[in-house]
Amino acid sequence: MTWRLTLWASLAGVLLICGLALYLDGRADASRRLRAEVAAAQSAADRHALEAEGERDAAARIAAQQVPVRAAERIAAAAIPKALNAEDANAPLDPDRADRLRLADRQLCAAAPALEGCAAALHAP
């Protein structure tokens, strides 16, 4: 009878060990799947963060570019009516009018110094 009991106990032990091995293997598979999902989610979050940073940088560049454009628009908008309504609008240039035009040129070049001809306008008398 003892050899039967030993056989049944051994069989139960083997079944217990097999069941435990299957259980742990399933847990390991789930863990591997979860790690892959976490890695994918982290990658997506990193990508979204880079996209957001790029959008912020682009918005900052656009805003910085708009400053000289707006300044040039204001200067031109102020100079055009004065030039059109000036008493000497159709007369040859006198020194006062030439000074006003040089001042407007200098203001435009100060607002956007990279424009062509601005180096000469800034250093002109």
109 CB neighbour count, 10 Å cutoff: 20
Q: What are phi and psi of 117, to 5 degrees?
A: 90, -5
The Cα–Cα gap between 23 and 25 comes to: 5
Specify the pLDDT at position 50.
93
- Is pLDDT above 80 for 119? no
Q: What is the pLDDT of residues 23-36, one digit of tens each?
A: 877 777 777 788 88
**Domain boundary assignment for the chain:** 2-123
Q: What is the pLDDT of residues 85-115, one digit of tens each?
A: 777 667 777 788 788 888 888 888 887 777 7
Confidence (pTM): 0.42
Tokens representing 103? Answer: 């001042």
Average pLDDT over residues 6-30: 81
Which amino acid type is present at position 86?
A
The Cα–Cα gap between 100 and 79 comes to: 9
